[in-house]
């Protein structure tokens, strides 16, 4: 059996995206899947499936770094997973039943992906304002309501991530800022990255069973992304947050419009 071929363009893409994921908690599916679809002309279903396993390995590395720094709130992570894992399972069962290889399914994935990117860009732009709103409403949210909304957020992310590989980063972090304004941003980012590991691993395994994984491409991406996310996670506390957030938002808006309109 021949060894998988390492494609340097995929590797450099993995390095770039992995660095952004570690730095901001955003950029995995939000950037990698569109890069594969628009730049490398990969079938949307294959791009989503491959990116999910790529994200699982990449964010496991990020979780290790954030965990060693003490910037993961495991209670928040568990609450998110309580909603996302069942929702992802149901979504994958439906995908298996109705198929992903038809032109209609491919177009649906591309449109949902574009819409998810546009929502992600809005979440990035208005994150500071939403964080202030969350801080102002801290006394309104009871512990039970916070728990329920966190599980519900996980469920929504489970569906989105299974369909598009997008959502676990910017959208998840933004909602957590609203629900847990008392937590430092670094801890929220670390918790969100940790939650993405079981979610993307489950969704990626489901896509593996559906046959939508390109293993050679996956290996090429991981060669670049693993060192990238380790470096980004280490430097996360020193990142110019506003500049990175706005650049990412502008990029995701352009890509989202391109996906929806193409």
**Considering only CA atoms, which of 186, 181, 216 is closest in space to residue 68?**
186
Segment of 143-152, 177-186, 224-233 carrying the highest mean pLDDT: 143-152
Question: What are the tens digits of pLDDT across the range 43-67?
Answer: 888 888 888 888 788 778 778 877 8
Give the residue with greater pLDDT, 66 vs 16. 16
Please state, in angstroms and rounded to a whole number, the distance separating the CA atoms of residues 134 and 137.
5
Please state, in angstroms and rounded to a whole number, the distance separating the CA atoms of residues 17 and 110.
20
In the chain, where the domains are located: 8-236
Lowest mean pLDDT among 25-29, 160-164, 185-189: 25-29
The reported pLDDT for the residue numbered 241 is: 67
pTM check: above 0.85: no
């Amino acid at each position: 059996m021949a060894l998988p071929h390492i494609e340097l363009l995929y590797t450099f893409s993995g390095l770039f995206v992995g660095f952004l994921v570690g730095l901001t908690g955003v950029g995995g599916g939000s950037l990698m899947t569109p890069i594969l679809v628009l730049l490398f002309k990969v079938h949307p279903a294959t791009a989503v499936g491959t990116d999910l396993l790529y994200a699982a390995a990449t964010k496991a590395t990020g979780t290790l770094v954030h965990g060693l720094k003490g910037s993961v709130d495991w209670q928040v992570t568990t609450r998110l997973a309580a909603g996302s894992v069942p929702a992802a399972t149901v979504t994958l069962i439906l995908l298996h039943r109705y198929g992903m290889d038809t032109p209609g399914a491919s177009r649906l994935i591309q449109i949902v992906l574009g819409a998810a990117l546009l929502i992600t860009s809005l979440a990035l732009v208005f994150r500071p304002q939403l964080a202030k709103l969350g801080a102002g409403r801290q006394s309104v949210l009871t512990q039970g309501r916070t728990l329920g909304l966190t599980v519900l957020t996980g469920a929504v992310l489970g569906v989105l991530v299974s369909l598009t590989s997008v959502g676990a980063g910017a959208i998840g972090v933004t909602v957590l800022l609203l629900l847990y304004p008392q937590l430092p941003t670094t801890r929220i980012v670390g918790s969100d990255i940790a939650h993405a590991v079981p979610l993307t691993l489950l969704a990626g395994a489901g896509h593996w069973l559906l046959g939508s994984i390109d293993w050679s491409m996956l290996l090429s991406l991981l060669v670049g992304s693993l060192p990238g996310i380790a470096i980004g996670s280490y430097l996360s506390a020193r990142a110019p947050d506003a500049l990175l957030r706005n650049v990412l938002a502008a990029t995701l808006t352009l890509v989202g419009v391109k996906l929806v309109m193409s």
